[in-house]
Structure 1
């Protein structure tokens, strides 16, 4: 029957999501319109379609254990020369994203996988394009700022046309607007502050 390609991510809300997607297209990235602007929690992962109910149940449980938290994007960064990527930095919320992605990939669930690189939450704005265009993305978005309360993540499937489509969203906790305690440095592992 084959496999499906799944991904889990936090969507960057409007108007920021469309702005960054259009910017990515403007830099000449051909993948821009097939990938909603996001912060990855689970990179593209092959799965048996029969596992989808278990995946949905697992993600529901992960989301229930988290409270909404503040997210803030600020400025740009790059993974070059290791990887041809320019991204918008996560200035607040990185620790919560790290906590979440570990639980999404937890050994007790159906989405277990190793990562090619250490997890570093970010919002890609250019990938695998000409160096000059990568430089332009890095410079033109250097002053970009955005902030919102992150209250959910979503499961996506990549189609045969390479477009990512949302299958479902998972609200955190009871879907309320509680914010976790502040004070966890973004570069330290988060544990209790983000669980209910």
Structure 2
């Protein structure tokens, strides 16, 4: 059956997702319209197409074990000069994202893999464009703020055209949308039950 290229991410909800995608395009990033605005949990990963049912079962079981948690984005950062990326920072929910991405890539699961760089949750707003465009992105979004209750993640497949398309949403099983962790628990830690 061949291979497919998959990714797992937390979508940035509306109106923030479209706003950041439009800004990314305005900065001159040609990939903006093919990549939904997101926080990566699994970077592009090639797998055998016949392993897709195992991937879906793995992600469904993981999502069921997690409670919704607060996410907040604020300000900008960059990976330059190591990597030509400007991003919006995840200032709340980062440790929950780190926890999730480790379990998505669990060594015993169908998406086991090593990362090229240490995991750092973020929302890319410019990648591989001119230095002037990168500087604009960094400056113009420096005051950007968004917050929401993260209640799910999604599985995406990259098409031959380079566009990422959602295959499935995985809602967290630990509570209804909008639930927050009980008082006294760290807001960045997902709660298992």
Residue of 173, 190, 195 corresponding to 2:192: 195
1:135-162 Cα shifts (integer Å, max 9, x gaps): 0000000000000000000000000000
Q: Which secondary structure does the structure 1 equivalent of 2:54 belong to?
A: helix
The alignment's TM-score, normalised by the length of structure 2, stands at 0.95
Distance of 1:124 and 1:52 partners within structure 2 = 27
1:29 alignment partner in structure 2: 29
* 2:102 equivalent to 1:102: yes
Q: CA deviation at 1:104?
A: 0.3
2:154 alignment partner in structure 1: 154
The alignment's TM-score, normalised by the length of structure 1, stands at 0.94
Which residues in structure 2 correspond to 1:87-98 (within 5 Å)? 87-98=87-98
* 2:125 equivalent to 1:115: no
2:79 alignment partner in structure 1: 79
Distance of 1:37 and 1:137 partners within structure 2 = 15
Equivalent residues of 1:86, 1:127 under 8 A apart: yes
Distance of 1:96 and 1:102 partners within structure 2 = 10
* 2:51 equivalent to 1:51: yes
Q: CA deviation at 1:2?
A: 2.1
Q: CA deviation at 1:35?
A: 0.1
1:9 alignment partner in structure 2: 9
In the comparison of the two structures, how many residue pairs are matched?
Answer: 191
Q: Which secondary structure does the structure 2 equivalent of 1:194 belong to?
A: coil
1:179 alignment partner in structure 2: 180
Equivalent residues of 1:96, 1:194 under 8 A apart: no
RMSD: 1.4
1:169 alignment partner in structure 2: 169
2:38 alignment partner in structure 1: 38
Moved over 3 A (4+): 181-186
